[in-house]
Amino acid sequence: MTLDVTLGEFLRSRRKASDPGSAPLPSSGLRRVRGLRREEIAQLAGVSVDYYARLEQGRQAAPSESVLTSIAAALDLDETERLHLFDLAHSPAPVRDAGGQAQSARPGLIRLMETLGTTPAVLHGRGTDVLAVNEAARAVITDFYAKPARDRNVARWFFLDEDSRRFDDWDNVAGDIIGVLRLDIGRYPSDPRLQSLVEEMKAKSPLFCEFWEKNRVAIDVPVHKVVQHPTAGTLEFEVEGVSPPSDRDQTLYIFMMKQGSPTEKAVERLVAEWRARPSAL
């Protein structure tokens, strides 16, 4: 089964989301549809209309780096979208086949996680799989280790478990998760594990389908996140993602707290309670 993640689909979605008013083009009067027209993107990118149309229709071989750069500029793509564009255009290369193999957590990231004490941290792998989670994250966010191995996945948790609604800004966080998942599929279109995950989520969650169709791509960046914990109340974090330069497939997300803040004190209590549970002995 082939996923609907193609270069043409992505180009069409970004063109429809583009802002004609910000493009260096003469005014063309009333527009009946959103975004720039194909001929306008072609003009801005310096390619023929027929060539660009073939790209959107999937009838053109992979474009050159210079053409991709020009199209990215014409569509005013951000850095994450530009990365995804290049991934999609070059995806047939065999080196990008992940082979469907399960990942193992990098020892260096595990060691880093162990130094964080009561600061929650979650290690994401390809396709938003959870490769590792520390004690604080289990107490504050959710206990991924208590779930079956196949369910230790952030996308599954967010869209299939009401417990994820403890994030105040749920829609934006969910959008980030979908964006990261789309980037991974753009890089590894033949990975059966990723294909299976997306098809399963589409079948089980209409809300997932709604987010997926937006064609958003994203790399989760440092952001303020608020968690409404069922017993500790409102907890505020600044989240930082750390990835080894040589491995885009693993990111350690660290939920940082202000020193001496109510959140820090509440998390310390939650971790102490977690450690005191009979199951933790």
pLDDT tens digits along 195-239: 899 999 999 999 999 999 888 877 655 589 999 999 999 999 999
Q: Are 216 and 179 in contact (CB under 8 A)?
A: yes
User: What is the chain's mean pLDDT, rounded?
Assistant: 85
Residues linked to residue 129 through DSSP beta bridges, in sequence order = 153
Percent of the chain with pLDDT over 70: 88
Q: What global pTM score does this model have?
A: 0.70
Q: What are phi and psi of 77, to 5 degrees?
A: -75, 145
Give CA angle at 113 (110, 119), nearest 5°.
160
Domains of the chain: 7-90 (1.10.260.40), 107-280 (3.30.450.180)
pLDDT value of residue 220: 58
The answer to whether residue 48 scores a pLDDT higher than 80 is: yes
pLDDT digit string, tens, across residues 89-108:
874 433 344 545 667 888 88
In terms of pLDDT, which residue wins out, 77 or 159?
A: 159
pLDDT value of residue 90: 72
pLDDT value of residue 96: 44
pLDDT value of residue 188: 84
Residues sharing a CB contact under 8 Å with residue 60, sequence separation 6 or more, in sequence order: 51, 54
- Report which of 128, 175, 133 is spatially closest to residue 156, judged by C-alpha positions: 128
Helices (H) and strands (E) in the chain, counts: 12, 5
